[in-house]
Amino acid sequence: MDAESAFINIPEDEVLFQKQYYGIGEVAEMFHLNASLLRYWANEFDLLKPRKNRKGDRLFRPEDIKNLLLIHHLLRQRKYTIGGAKDYLKKNKLKVQQDFDLIQKLEKVKGFLLGLKADL
Protein backbone atom coordinates (compact mmCIF):
# COMPACT_ATOMS: atom_id res chain seq x y z
CA MET A 1 0.00 0.00 0.00
CA ASP A 2 1.07 3.53 -0.67
CA ALA A 3 2.22 5.33 2.48
CA GLU A 4 -0.28 8.15 1.99
CA SER A 5 -3.24 5.79 1.53
CA ALA A 6 -2.39 4.14 4.84
CA PHE A 7 -3.26 7.41 6.60
CA ILE A 8 -6.78 7.64 5.18
CA ASN A 9 -9.14 6.81 8.01
CA ILE A 10 -12.56 6.16 6.48
CA PRO A 11 -14.84 3.92 8.53
CA GLU A 12 -16.34 0.74 7.08
CA ASP A 13 -19.53 1.16 5.04
CA GLU A 14 -21.79 0.00 7.88
CA VAL A 15 -20.46 2.78 10.12
CA LEU A 16 -20.07 5.36 7.35
CA PHE A 17 -23.68 5.09 6.21
CA GLN A 18 -25.10 5.43 9.74
CA LYS A 19 -24.77 9.20 9.44
CA GLN A 20 -26.48 11.16 6.66
CA TYR A 21 -23.98 14.03 6.53
CA TYR A 22 -20.40 14.71 7.54
CA GLY A 23 -18.99 18.19 7.99
CA ILE A 24 -16.03 19.31 5.94
CA GLY A 25 -13.83 19.21 9.06
CA GLU A 26 -14.68 15.55 9.70
CA VAL A 27 -14.00 14.63 6.07
CA ALA A 28 -10.74 16.59 6.04
CA GLU A 29 -9.67 14.70 9.15
CA MET A 30 -10.55 11.34 7.55
CA PHE A 31 -8.34 12.10 4.54
CA HIS A 32 -5.70 14.11 6.42
CA LEU A 33 -6.22 16.99 3.98
CA ASN A 34 -6.94 20.68 4.36
CA ALA A 35 -10.58 21.75 4.18
CA SER A 36 -9.58 24.26 1.49
CA LEU A 37 -8.37 21.42 -0.74
CA LEU A 38 -11.69 19.61 -0.27
CA ARG A 39 -13.57 22.79 -1.19
CA TYR A 40 -11.41 23.11 -4.31
CA TRP A 41 -12.02 19.49 -5.32
CA ALA A 42 -15.77 19.93 -4.71
CA ASN A 43 -15.75 22.89 -7.10
CA GLU A 44 -13.66 21.12 -9.74
CA PHE A 45 -15.29 17.68 -9.86
CA ASP A 46 -18.93 17.23 -10.83
CA LEU A 47 -18.85 13.86 -9.10
CA LEU A 48 -18.73 15.61 -5.70
CA LYS A 49 -21.94 17.32 -4.73
CA PRO A 50 -21.78 18.30 -1.07
CA ARG A 51 -24.86 20.04 0.23
CA LYS A 52 -24.66 23.43 1.88
CA ASN A 53 -26.59 24.47 4.95
CA ARG A 54 -27.97 27.97 5.46
CA LYS A 55 -24.65 29.10 6.84
CA GLY A 56 -22.88 27.88 3.71
CA ASP A 57 -21.07 24.98 5.38
CA ARG A 58 -20.50 22.00 3.11
CA LEU A 59 -22.03 18.72 4.25
CA PHE A 60 -20.76 15.56 2.59
CA ARG A 61 -22.98 12.51 2.19
CA PRO A 62 -21.42 9.04 2.52
CA GLU A 63 -21.64 8.72 -1.29
CA ASP A 64 -19.61 11.91 -1.61
CA ILE A 65 -16.98 10.46 0.70
CA LYS A 66 -16.76 7.33 -1.46
CA ASN A 67 -16.39 9.52 -4.58
CA LEU A 68 -13.79 11.61 -2.78
CA LEU A 69 -11.84 8.44 -2.06
CA LEU A 70 -11.88 7.67 -5.78
CA ILE A 71 -10.72 11.19 -6.66
CA HIS A 72 -8.02 11.03 -3.99
CA HIS A 73 -6.84 7.72 -5.47
CA LEU A 74 -6.58 9.20 -8.97
CA LEU A 75 -4.86 12.41 -7.91
CA ARG A 76 -2.55 11.25 -5.14
CA GLN A 77 -1.77 7.61 -5.88
CA ARG A 78 -2.01 7.44 -9.65
CA LYS A 79 -0.62 11.01 -10.00
CA TYR A 80 -3.24 12.33 -12.42
CA THR A 81 -3.60 16.07 -12.91
CA ILE A 82 -6.98 17.66 -12.14
CA GLY A 83 -7.80 17.87 -15.86
CA GLY A 84 -6.57 14.35 -16.50
CA ALA A 85 -8.64 12.95 -13.64
CA LYS A 86 -11.75 14.80 -14.90
CA ASP A 87 -11.31 13.38 -18.41
CA TYR A 88 -10.59 9.91 -17.10
CA LEU A 89 -13.72 9.96 -14.93
CA LYS A 90 -15.88 11.23 -17.81
CA LYS A 91 -14.69 8.60 -20.26
CA ASN A 92 -14.46 5.59 -17.95
CA LYS A 93 -16.84 6.26 -15.06
CA LEU A 94 -18.24 2.72 -14.71
CA LYS A 95 -14.92 1.00 -15.37
CA VAL A 96 -13.10 3.30 -12.94
CA GLN A 97 -15.54 2.51 -10.13
CA GLN A 98 -15.30 -1.25 -10.72
CA ASP A 99 -11.50 -1.15 -10.88
CA PHE A 100 -11.33 1.01 -7.77
CA ASP A 101 -13.63 -1.35 -5.84
CA LEU A 102 -11.38 -4.24 -6.84
CA ILE A 103 -8.27 -2.33 -5.72
CA GLN A 104 -9.90 -1.57 -2.36
CA LYS A 105 -10.75 -5.25 -1.81
CA LEU A 106 -7.24 -6.33 -2.76
CA GLU A 107 -5.71 -3.77 -0.39
CA LYS A 108 -7.85 -5.16 2.45
CA VAL A 109 -6.69 -8.70 1.64
CA LYS A 110 -3.09 -7.49 1.48
CA GLY A 111 -3.44 -5.80 4.88
CA PHE A 112 -4.93 -8.97 6.35
CA LEU A 113 -2.12 -11.12 4.94
CA LEU A 114 0.56 -8.70 6.18
CA GLY A 115 -1.07 -8.85 9.62
CA LEU A 116 -0.92 -12.64 9.53
CA LYS A 117 2.72 -12.53 8.46
CA ALA A 118 3.55 -10.17 11.34
CA ASP A 119 1.87 -12.53 13.81
CA LEU A 120 3.99 -15.50 12.68
Question: Which pTM does this prediction carry?
Answer: 0.76
The pLDDT score that the predictor gives to residue 5 is 52
- Residue 91 CA to its chain's centroid (Å): 19
What is the band of 1 on the pLDDT scale with cuts at 50, 70, 90?
very low
Burial 4-34 (b: 16+ CB within 10 A, else e): eeeebebeeeeebeeeeebebeebbebbebe
Average pLDDT on 73-86 reads: 92
**pLDDT per residue as tens digits for the range 80-90:** 999 999 998 88
* Whole-Å CA distances, 95 to 41, 70, 100, 114: 21, 12, 8, 28
Structural domains in the chain (count): 1
Question: Is residue 114 domain-resident?
Answer: no
Average pLDDT, the chain: 87
CATH at residue 60: 1.10.1660.10
Residue-range definition of the domain harbouring residue 79: 5-91
